[in-house]
Structure 1
């Protein structure tokens, strides 16, 4: 009888310990996601700041932004011309934060 009582107490303790491990794991994953999202925003902010600080030297547009704008103008009648730095910002947001492709519509939403 004493052995049965000890076994059931161990089973209850084991179940509680397992639940607390699962809760701790979920909390750790949530914390990791929050920290990662903040660092991704910081990376994008630094990329844009560096790009904007070099506009006088490198120019507002380059071949890539010009081609992207031409392509988007063909498919979207009211496309607003975006700069090289805006395209870099949208690219960073879409790839690091949202995991989306670099399409005209996604760029428009990322810059909105």
Structure 2
């Protein structure tokens, strides 16, 4: 009985840790996005990376909605820090919707 209780307690602790990381990761990504938007008038909405990414996604997805530099920064942050996923066109679009 004590082994079962210990296993259950360990699972609860791990779930709590994962949920806490998700919210702190999203807060970090939101701060990063806010900082990017604040600098957007100076830096601009496009750069070479965003241009190549949009061009690639437009070739592979007819319904692709072009993203700005700050949107790509936010999506990349969410994908790497929160979802631990790759930066594909579909994943970027999904991360910007949530």
- Name 1:102's counterpart in structure 2: 87
- Which of 16, 40, 46 aligns to 2:31? It is 46
The structural deviation recorded for 1:77 is: 2.1
Residues in 2 aligned to 1:75 and 1:27: alpha-carbon distance in whole angstroms: 42
Structure 2 stretches lacking a partner, 5+ long: none
Residues in 2 aligned to 1:75 and 1:18: alpha-carbon distance in whole angstroms: 52
- Name 1:67's counterpart in structure 2: 52
1:31 aligns with 2:20: no
The structural deviation recorded for 1:100 is: 1.6
The structural deviation recorded for 1:44 is: 0.8
Higher relative contact order (CA 8 A, sep 6+): 2
- Residue deviations 1:17-48, cap 9 Å, x none? 33332222122111111111111111111110
CA contact (8 A) 2:79 2:87 kept: yes
TM-score of the two chains, using structure 2 as the length reference: 0.88
Residues in 1 aligned to 2:11 and 2:62: alpha-carbon distance in whole angstroms: 46
How big is the alpha-carbon RMSD for the aligned residues of Structure 1 and Structure 2? 1.3
Aligned residues: 97
Moved over 3 A (4+): none
Structure 1 segment 1-16 matched on structure 2, within 5 A: 16=1
- Name 2:76's counterpart in structure 1: 91
Residues in 2 aligned to 1:106 and 1:28: alpha-carbon distance in whole angstroms: 29
